Structure 1
Amino acid sequence: MNKTATLLGLAGLIPFVGLTAMMYQPWAIGLFMTYSAVILSFLGGIHWGVALRDTDWRNNWRLCLCMLPSLLAWLALALPVEVALTLLLLSYAAWWLYDFMQLAIADYRRLRRCLTLVVLACHGSWLYFYV
C-alpha cells in the first residue's frame, strides 16, 4: 500500500482517539460524532470511486449501496447520542465486512482492519461513557 495513504489513514485516527481521550469535556461528543459521520461517508466514497473506475464492478445496486454510509452518518447526527453512537459503531462494523467481501486488496484490508478496530474501540468507549 502507498506509504502516504497508510500515514494519512493512521493520522485520521487522531481525532477519534484525541476526542475519546477528552470525553469528559461536554463539547467533545459533538465533534466526535461529526468527525465519525464524515469519515463513514468517506468510506462509501471509496467504493463509489472504484465503481466509476472499474466497469466490470459497476452496477446500479453497487452505486446505490455506496450511498448508504453517507445516509447512515447523516441520520446518526439527528439521533440521540446513545442511538447515534450505536448506529455509527454498527455502520463501521458492517462496512468493514462489506469492504472485506468486495475489495480483495490485501494491503487495503490490513489497513482498514487496523483503522476500523481503533474506530470501533473509540465508539465503544463513548457508548460505555454514555450508558
Structure 2
Amino acid sequence: MARRKSLSITLSILAAVAMALGTGCGGGPPVETSKSEATVHGKVIIHGKPVKKGQVWFDPANYRRKDVTARSTNVAEDGTYAITTLIGENSVRYEGPATLGNRELDGAIQSLVVKEGDNEFDIILPLR
C-alpha cells in the first residue's frame, strides 16, 4: 500500500512538472529580437499645436536586445520628424523647450510597435 501511494505521488509530481514545462511561464507578449529596421515619421503636438524644435527619442531595447541604444532625431520647425529604428516595441519620448520643468510633459514615454515598412506616429502630449 505504501509503495502504491509513493508511486501515485511520484506520478503526480511528474505530471505537474510536464504541465509547467509544456505551458511555459507567464504567457507574456513576445519580445522582438530582430535587428531589421523601419522608418517612422510623424508630428510632435503639444496642447494641440506642433512644436518648433526639440528631439524625439526611440528606444528599441528590451531584455533580448540589451546591446542596442536609443536613437534620436531633431524635430523640424513644422513639428515633423523622421527616424529609422528597429522593428518591434519602442519606447518613445520627446525632449524640448516645452518639456523643461513641466511635470505634465517631462519624461512622458509612449510605447509604439514599429512594423516593417513605413510607420506614421504622431506624438501627442500631454498623455491621456
Same fold (TM over 0.5): no
TM-score normalised to the size of structure 1? 0.25
Structure with the higher helix share, 1 or 2: 1
More strand by share: 2
Larger-Rg structure: 2
